[in-house]
Structure formats: structure tokens, C-alpha cells
Amino acid sequence: MLKHGAAQVRAARTRVASFMLEMHGNLGSCAKGGPELPISRSDIADYLGLTTETVCRALAELRQRRVIRVERSRIEILDQTGLERAGSDHVH
């Protein structure tokens, strides 16, 4: 059984991953390397109605899975399939 906090991070990770996939679909791939999303953690938090801290935790988990690379105000998608899996996780 998941602790309440773990469930929140999982739900946030799902929302963040889904958001990044939507943004990627809107922006398309960059010519060099993987797709990059020019957006900050606080912008993601504002858009999704989450705290910046929660978004940071979700991004850290995606980074640990090697799905994304995060730099100051941009996010590079390293594994789109992994991001799609993270975006479809459900808490039952």
C-alpha cells in the first residue's frame, strides 16, 4: 500500500508526464538531439495547479528513470516511450 505522500507524487508524476507529452506534441521535435521543452518548473506548477515542490519531486523521479534531462528552464525528453508509460500510470 502506498503512503499518502507517495500516491500524491505518483499522481503528480502522471500529470507532469502527460503535460510534457502534450507540449511535445504541440512543439514537435527539435532538429538536434531529443525534443526540448522550454519551460520552467514553476511554469509547469502554475499550469497544472501544483506546487513547485511537487513538480520538482515528479521531475526528479522521471529524471531518475532516465526519461528526461532537466536543466534550468528546459526539459529534454530522453525516452518518449518511458514518458508515455509514466503519463499513463494510474493509482488504483
Q: Which CATH number belongs to the domain containing residue 12 in this structure?
A: 1.10.10.10
Q: Note down the domain range covering 19.
A: 4-87
Domain membership of residue 52 (yes or no) is yes
Taking only the tens of pLDDT, the chain with its 92 residues reads 444 577 777 888 899 999 988 887 776 655 444 556 777 888 899 999 999 999 999 999 999 999 998 877 678 889 989 999 988 864 43
pTM, full prediction: 0.77
Q: How far apart are CA 41 and CA 19, in angstroms?
A: 12
Total of domains in the chain: 1
**Residue 64: in which H helix or E strand, if any?**
helix 52-64
Domain membership of residue 92 (yes or no) is no
Domain membership of residue 40 (yes or no) is yes
Residue 87 pLDDT: 84
